[in-house]
Amino acid sequence: MAPASMHSALAFELLATCSVTRARAATLHLPHGPVPLPIFMPVATQASLKGLTPDQLEDQGCCLCLNNTYHL
């Protein structure tokens, strides 16, 4: 299938850009729902999140975690 005719599973929607710092606010549209950006996204190394408990993540409103499972 040609790249131009492929449907992407995600979309990036730019909402605002700061004229001074060029910081951006956006929404990343994923198959499971929209993700507001910027966002706090903890990283789980070796498939395990370290330093935060599940309750702390929930209290912070964490809705996304980056996981590396390459080594598994």
What pLDDT band is residue 17 in, cutting at 50, 70 and 90?
Answer: very high
Query: How many independent structural domains does the chain possess?
Result: 2
Q: Examine the domain organization and report whether 4 and 33 are in the same domain.
A: yes
Structure tokens given for 54: 């599940």
Residue 22 pLDDT more than 90? yes
Q: What is the mean pLDDT of residues 14-20?
A: 97
Q: What is the mean pLDDT of residues 1-16?
A: 78
Q: What is the pTM of this model?
A: 0.64
Print the domain residue range for 5: 1-39
Q: Examine the domain organization and report whether 24 and 50 are in the same domain.
A: no
